[in-house]
């Protein structure tokens, strides 16, 4: 965190970078339906992808103006500070730790965490996870949340949601904990899986920029207000 904070003053703002480049580089997920995923033709679709495309058109007066860069939960912040993306629009939950190195836009969605299990499993809720292996995503809030709520669970981190889902189906883990919208979508698309318990610890999603990039942050919030008013 300290290294990243020291780097911030030497970096240009994301808005200026995008204008000079001629396109906005937006980090989005491609393995996280319905917020970010790819279709059969390889096009990135989803709620966050649509938000990024709206911003690109707003910045460049109707032109597409955006390049969608695939990111993972664990790789979002390094890509932002490596200047490979200008903004994170990738199911980024606001947390106190992340606020040390990122500035967040106003929220645009609220989601909690939820547990996914196999239909043949005895797991009914997070209270049943003691001593059991549970899949989480690297860099996701569930890594810290489950240590508080189910401290005796054995957390196994995966880089992507498809990898975690496969581990659950192959019985390498007894549950998968992720954002509720992703879990609900996975349960609908996989008849051998089911929801286990209710959503917990709701938090907002927001776009994220490098710490101190107040001009870009103000522009993003202004665009969100226009979208909400329309």
pLDDT of 71-107, one tens digit each?
999 899 999 999 999 999 999 999 999 999 999 999 9
**Predicted pLDDT of residue 62:** 83
**Predicted pLDDT of residue 129:** 95
| Mean pLDDT taken over the chain | 93
Percentage helix, strand, coil for the chain under 3-state DSSP, each rounded to 5: 35, 25, 35
- Per-residue confidence in pLDDT tens, the chain, 230 aa: 445 555 544 466 999 999 999 999 999 999 999 999 999 999 999 999 999 999 999 999 988 899 999 999 989 999 999 999 999 999 999 999 999 999 999 999 999 999 999 999 999 999 999 999 999 999 899 999 999 999 999 999 999 999 999 999 999 999 999 999 999 999 999 999 999 999 999 999 999 999 999 999 999 999 999 999 98
**Predicted pLDDT of residue 63:** 84
Q: Please state, in angstroms and rounded to a whole number, the distance separating the CA atoms of residues 55 and 224.
A: 9
CB of 113 within 8 A of CB of 175?
Answer: no
Handedness of CA 212, 109, 65, 30 (dihedral sign): positive
Q: Please state, in angstroms and rounded to a whole number, the distance separating the CA atoms of residues 189 and 39.
A: 15
Give SS3 for 203.
Answer: strand
CB atoms within 10 A of CB 227: 13
CB of 149 within 8 A of CB of 126?
Answer: yes
The pLDDT tens digits of the residues spanning 42-81 come to 999 999 999 999 999 999 998 889 999 999 998 999 999 9
Cis omega (within 30 of 0) on the bond before 34?
yes
∠ CA 18-89-191, nearest 5°, is 145
In the chain, DSSP assigns E strands to: 24-28, 31-32, 36-38, 44-45, 66-70, 87-88, 102-104, 109-118, 133-137, 154-158, 175-179, 193-195, 200-205, 208-210
**Predicted pLDDT of residue 117:** 98
**Predicted pLDDT of residue 9:** 47
């Amino acid at each position: 965190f300290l290294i990243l904070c020291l780097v911030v003053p030497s970096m240009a703002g994301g808005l200026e970078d995008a204008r000079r480049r001629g396109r906005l580089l937006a980090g989005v997920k491609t393995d996280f339906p319905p917020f970010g995923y790819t279709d059969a033709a390889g096009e990135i679709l989803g709620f966050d992808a649509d938000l990024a495309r709206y911003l690109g058109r707003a910045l460049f007066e109707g032109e597409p103006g955006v390049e969608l860069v695939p990111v993972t939960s664990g790789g979002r912040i390094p890509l932002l500070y490596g200047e490979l993306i200008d903004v994170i629009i990738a199911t980024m939950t606001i947390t106190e730790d992340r606020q040390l190195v990122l500035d967040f836009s106003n929220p645009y969605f609220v989601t909690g965490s939820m547990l996914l299990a196999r239909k043949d499993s005895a797991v009914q809720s997070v209270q049943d996870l003691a001593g059991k292996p549970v899949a989480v995503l690297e860099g996701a809030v569930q890594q810290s949340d489950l240590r508080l709520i189910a401290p005796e669970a054995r957390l196994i981190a995966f880089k992507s949601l498809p990898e975690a889902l496969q581990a659950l189906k192959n019985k390498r883990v007894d549950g998968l904990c992720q954002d509720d919208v992703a879990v609900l979508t996975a349960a609908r698309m996989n008849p051998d899986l089911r929801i286990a318990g209710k959503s917990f610890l709701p938090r907002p999603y927001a776009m994220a920029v490098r710490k101190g990039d107040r001009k870009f942050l103000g522009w993003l919030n202004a665009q969100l207000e226009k979208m909400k008013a329309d």
